[in-house]
Amino acid sequence: MGIFPQSIRWRIQLWYLLLLAVIIAALLAAFHRNQREIKYQVLDRELSNPITRLLPNLERRPESPPRGRRLPRPDLLEDFEDELRPGLEVGGRRSPRGPDPLERRRVNLDEIVEELAENGIFVFHWSRGGELRFASENSPEGLRSFPDKVSREGDRVSKETVQGYREIIHASPNVGTLVVGASVKPIETYLSKLETKLIGVGFLIIVGGFLVGWFLIGRSLKPIEAISGAAHRIAEGNLSERIKISGNGSELGQLSMVLNETFEKLETSFEHQVRFTADASHEMRTPIAVILSKSQFALSKERSPEKYQEALQTCVDSAQHMRTLTSGLLELSKVDSGEFHLRPGRHRSETRIPQVD
Amino acid sequence: MRVLVVEDQDDLREVVVETLREESFAVDESADGEEGLYKALNWDYDIVVLDVMMPVMNGWEVLDGLRKEKQTPVLMLTALDQVCDKVKGLNHGADDYLAKPFDLTELVARVRAVMRRKGGDHCPEVTVGNVTINTTAKTLRLGDKEVEVTAREFAMAELLIKHRDEVVTRDFLYDHLFDENDESMSNMLDVYVYKLRQKFGKSFIKTRRGQGYIVESS
């Protein structure tokens, strides 16, 4: 008995469950991964959209384009309104009357950022030199460092997940580095809930598989129980017992048939044996009776030497008769066991059979 | 007492016959069933010792043939000792059953027991007047004193006592005391009667003229 139980049922059951568990785990893991990817793709699309909206507002600012967003330190960006004021002043200075197109862009940008903030999306903007020019109110502190993604020619877009936030980093020579990000917490929460659900489902499938497997294995092992039961009864001495065969086509049905044939032969040979023994003992009885009664007769009282001689002679004759019998029986048993072969041929029966009364 | 032994095995038949003769039975023998049945039907034997496995006619057939006409006691002798064989034998009308190989003493005891039962006596010792016979010990006593008798004298006394209070004819006595090979003349009966009267008194055996002899129990 090793780690695995000897029972065939349990062995099959264990391997089957192991296989089932591996397959289920792999499938569920793939599903989970797929869900995660889909969620991230959706998020990325959500984050990519604002970039296309923001970019026109940030492009081409020949002279100090991010007027109000030039900040000495990132933590001063706490209040977006404060941020705006210097911009307005600068704008006001540049075009005191009427809305300056830059000013309009600025307002537009603010609206977009506000709208984005409502959806939990934050925006950073760095100049090409790595100077933080703009940061949304809801942006996490830890991310206000330059991502070091700069593009000198053409736009470069990259995605990364940092400290639980998903960011799309858009770097272009024109705009500098624009980062749009959002927390992945809702996704992770969703995914962890999904994970719990999937584990539950997997467990249920495995339990169901176990039950179905138990039933199926039980059904297919039933003939084995029948075989072992019949073999038990035969071992107890009931030689006429046979296995009840159900379904000749199955391997076990065929095995049962073979076993039944074997039992049949066994019973026949056992009957042979019994009959042979009975016949042999029957044949022996008469000579034994002669020897026994003749010697008892001779010993019952004092007799003449002739009587004793006669008695002894009878005993010798009977013993020799028994000797002939035993060698005959031995030959007979040889014939039965197949050691001895008959040689059929033509003979004249009169010459072979001496005389029959 | 006259016995018929039907047995095909010569040595065995011989020893059984000799033993029974030594037990003072008059014994006839047959080597096959057909002859055995013929003898059993034509003589009144006190018992037939019958083997089962025989050529020509087996023991069962002999028994069936005999039972159609006679109630002669039969002791079956056979090499088959399965219970069903014994039951079959007894159901066919055999009185007892003995499996080979047997002890001679048991055979004799059973032969005697079967005959005793047929005669209505269950005890081997019977007393008639002041004469007591013991069929097992083969002794005759007059009062308390044992009297020496020859085998033939004993056999005659046994026969007469078994048929006490009945008139026993001379033919009956002759048939049951001498076997088929016996050359004795019938006047030997008179000799035995004379000897027994000498030993047990004149009144032990009474003569019924023209009929036979009688032993009266009182």
pLDDT > 60? residue A161 = yes
Q: Which region holds residue A60: left if phi is over 0, alpha if psi is between -120 and 50, else beta?
A: left
In whole angstroms, what is the distance from residue A48 CA to residue A52 CA?
7
Among A139, A167, A185, the domain boundary falls at: A185
The Cβ of residue B170 has, within 10 Å, a number of other Cβ atoms equal to: 15
Taking a C-beta distance cutoff of 8 angstroms, is the pair B42, A324 a contact? no
Beta bridge partners of B99: B78
Q: Cα–Cα distances in Å, from A91 out to A95, A213, B57?
A: 6, 77, 148
For B113, residues 6+ apart whose C-beta sits below 8 A from its C-beta are: B96
Tokens matching residue B187? 């006047």
Q: Domain spanning B125-214 has what CATH number?
A: 1.10.10.10
Cβ-contact B160, B215 below 8 angstroms: yes
A276 lies in some domain: yes
pLDDT bracket for residue A95 (50, 70, 90): very low
Q: Does B101 sit behind a cis peptide bond, omega within 30 degrees of 0 on the bond before it?
A: yes
pLDDT at residue A194, as a whole number? 92
Closest-CA residue to A83 (of A31, A139, A26): A139
Q: Find chain A residues with C-beta within 8 A of B12's C-beta.
A: 286, 289-290, 293
Q: Which of A92-96, A165-169, A209-213, B34-38 has the least mean pLDDT?
A: A92-96
Q: E strands of A74-142, at which residues? A: 121-126, 132-135
The answer to whether residues A16 and A82 touch, using CB atoms and an 8 Å cutoff, is no
Distance CA B119, CA B113 (A): 10
Res. A75 pLDDT band, cuts 50 70 90 = very low
pLDDT digits (tens, 9 = 90+) for B61-72: 899 899 888 888
Specify whether A89 is located in the same domain as A172. Answer: yes
**Strand bridging mode B206-208 / B212-214:** antiparallel
Report the sign of the C-alpha dihedral through residues A323, A324, A325, A331, in that order.
positive
According to DSSP, the β-strands at A132-135 and A121-126 are antiparallel
* Residue reference for tokens 């933590």: A75
What pLDDT does A309 receive?
92
Last residue of a domain, one of A152, A185, A218: A185
Sequence-separated (6 or more) residues with CB below 8 Å from residue B118: B46, B47, B73, B95
Q: Most confidently modeled of A11-25, A68-82, A156-170, A270-284? A: A11-25
- The rounded distance, in Å, linking the Cα atoms of B59 and B51 is 6
Best mutation target among B11, B18, B54 (most A Cβ atoms within 10 Å) is B11
CB contact under 8 A, A290 and B11: yes
For residue B154, the surrounding DSSP H or E stretch is helix B151-162
- Under DSSP, the state recorded for A140 is -
pLDDT score for A192:
92
Q: Cβ contact (<8 Å) for B102 and A289?
A: yes
| Chain A residues with beta carbon closer than 8 angstroms to that of B76 | none
Q: Which domain holds residue A99?
A: 33-185
Residue A310 maps to which CATH number?
1.10.287.130
pLDDT tens digits along A289-332: 889 999 988 988 888 999 899 999 999 999 998 999 888 888 87
Residues contacting B155, CB < 8 A, separation 6+: B1, B24, B25, B26, B177
Band of residue B145 on the pLDDT scale cut at 50, 70, 90: confident
Q: Provide, as residue numbers in chain A, all residues whose Cβ is less than 8 Å from the Cβ of B18.
A: 297
3-class secondary-structure state, position A126: strand
- Does A203 reside within a domain? no
pLDDT at A356: 55
Please, what is the Cα angle at B213 between B211 and B217, to 5 degrees? 130
Q: What pLDDT does A337 receive?
A: 72
d(Cα A71, Cα A131) in Å, to the nearest integer? 8
What mean pLDDT comes out for the span A191-220? 91
Structural domain contains residue A21: no
The residue with greater pLDDT, A97 or A309, is A309
| CATH assignment of B2-119, among 3.90.850.10, 3.40.50.2300, 2.60.40.10, 3.40.50.740 | 3.40.50.2300
Domain boundaries, chain B: 2-119, 125-214
* Least reliable range by pLDDT among A66-80, B63-77, B134-148, B164-178: A66-80
Q: Is the sign of the CA dihedral A202, A203, A204, A210 positive or negative? A: positive
**Residue A112, in any domain of the structure:** yes
- Select the highest-mean-pLDDT range: A76-80, A148-152, A199-203, A276-280: A199-203
**Complex ipTM:** 0.71
DSSP-assigned letter for residue A169:
E
**Chain A residue with minimum CA distance to B19:** A297
Residue B6 has pLDDT above 90, yes or no: yes
Residue A324 lies in a domain: yes
Q: Is the residue at A70 inside a domain?
A: yes
> Number of structural domains, chain A?
2
Confidence label for A66 from pLDDT (cuts 50, 70 and 90): very low
CB contact under 8 A, A297 and B55: no
Range of lowest pLDDT (A108-112, B97-101, B188-192):
A108-112
Residue A290: closest CA among A309, A308, A316: A316
Burial class (CB in 10 A: 0-12, 13-18, 19+), A204: exposed
| Cross-chain CB nearest to B15 (options A286, A297, A301) | A297
**Which range, of A81-85, A223-227, A296-300, averages the lowest pLDDT?**
A81-85
B112-147 burial code (b ≥16 CB/10 A, e <16): bbbbbeebeeeeeebebeebbbbbeebebbeeeeee
Mutual orientation of helices A251-299 and A185-235 as an angle, nearest 10°?
30
What does the block give as tokens for A264? 């049949």
A151 plus A46 within the same structural domain: yes
Identify the pLDDT of residue A89. 43
- Around Cβ B105, how many Cβ atoms within 10 Å? 12
Q: How far apart are CA A148 and CA B195, in angstroms?
A: 157
Same domain (yes/no): A79, A165: yes
- Cα-based distances in Å from A152 to A66, A127, A145, B181: 19, 12, 20, 152
Q: Which of A209, A204, A167 is nearest to A184 (CA)?
A: A167
Structure tokens at A47: 């984050």
Interface of B with A (CB under 8 A): 9, 11-12, 14-16, 18-19, 22, 55, 79-80, 99-105, 107
Chain B closest-CA separation from residue A273 CA (Å)? 17
Contact A286, B81 (CB under 8 A): no
Average pLDDT, chain A: 79
Alpha helices in A133-184 (DSSP H): none
